[in-house]
Amino acid sequence: MPDALPSSSDLFETIYTARAQRRLRPDPVPDALITRVLDAAIRAPSAGNAQNWHFVVIRDAGLRREVGALYRKASDIAAAIYQARSCPSHLTENEWQRMLTAGAHLWDHMGDAPVLLVPCLHQRDLPAPDAIDPAWRQHHEAERLYLDRIRGASIYPAVQNIILACRALGLGTLITTNHLRIEAEFKQLLGIPAEVDTFALMPIGWPEGHFGPVKRRPVAEVAHADRWSSAWPG
Ligand SMILES: Cc1cc2nc3c(=O)[nH]c(=O)nc-3n(C[C@H](O)[C@H](O)[C@H](O)COP(=O)(O)O)c2cc1C
């Protein structure tokens, strides 16, 4: 592995311990650390290298409270859905209940995190049909569906960079998407333009608990060798 980084073990340690942190201390986080996190975010890939992203950093206490109240409102819908779900087979009942309890804690405390980060994407235009080579114009509608399908793929890599950068700096965070259930209210509160979509709401702060290790279904259960029917042997 000639190009392996000398300290790549740190990266793996970061990945393996970047647990979802829902209990955060209210102590302030220096702007310089948030800038570092954002600088990691913008290193992410995006389709066509469009870099159509924007990141709203909310520190104002009054605004955080209002955002927290909207998250609470959206969570009432999520709660009803989660009540109807059963524990996934790879989790113990205890692990499932712990996740639900931590999730419910965040419903009431989102606004208490010292920083709330909202990763957004400016919508990407599709060229008009008559700008496309006539031989390929018939694909215009399918292309629109394709663009819609991959929309989040140009911001979620940045979200993961945020998660890992926070972990590397000792900050806790997680991706949440509950607010999308009432996104219009949320965008209005933050003055986000109509042509910009929000994709996550990430509380950031110093964690109350410990990092990692993250526990997941094993590789052998989810990876396939060449064809679906054969399990990856690793
Ligand atoms: C697309 C997506 C949406 C999520 N939305 C929420 C959310 O609205 N609220 C929440 O508390 N956690 C949310 N999570 C966090 C997951 O519950 C968390 O990543 C998962 O339980 C694994 O947690 P762990 O890394 O601590 O093991 C979301 C995660 C993803 C990937």
In the chain, where the domains are located: 8-222
Q: Is the CB of 219 under 6 A from ligand 1?
A: no
The tens digit of pLDDT for each residue in 109-159 reads 999 999 999 999 999 888 888 888 888 889 899 999 999 999 999 999 999
Name residues whose C-beta falls within 8 Å of residue 119's C-beta, 6 or more positions apart in sequence. Answer: 41, 53, 55, 155, 158, 159, 162, 198, 199, 200, 202
Q: Is the CB of 21 under 6 A from ligand 1?
A: no
- Which atom of ligand 1 is found nearest the CA of 215? 27
**In a 3-state reduction of DSSP, which class is residue 193?**
coil
Q: What average pLDDT does the structure give for the chain?
A: 94
Q: Is the pLDDT of residue 1 over 70?
A: no
d(CA 189, CA 187): 5
Predicted confidence at residue 55, as pLDDT, reads: 98
Report the nearest-CA residue for atom 1 of ligand 1: 177
CATH superfamily of 8-222: NADH Oxidase (3.40.109.10)
Predicted confidence at residue 65, as pLDDT, reads: 98
Residue 116, Cβ density class (10 Å: 0-12 exposed, 13-18 middle, ≥19 buried): buried
Q: Report the separation in Å between the CA atom of 179 and the middle of ligand 1, taken as the mean of its atom positions.
A: 13
Q: Report residue 173 as tokens.
A: 């965070």
The tens digit of pLDDT for each residue in 29-53 reads 999 999 999 999 999 999 999 999 9
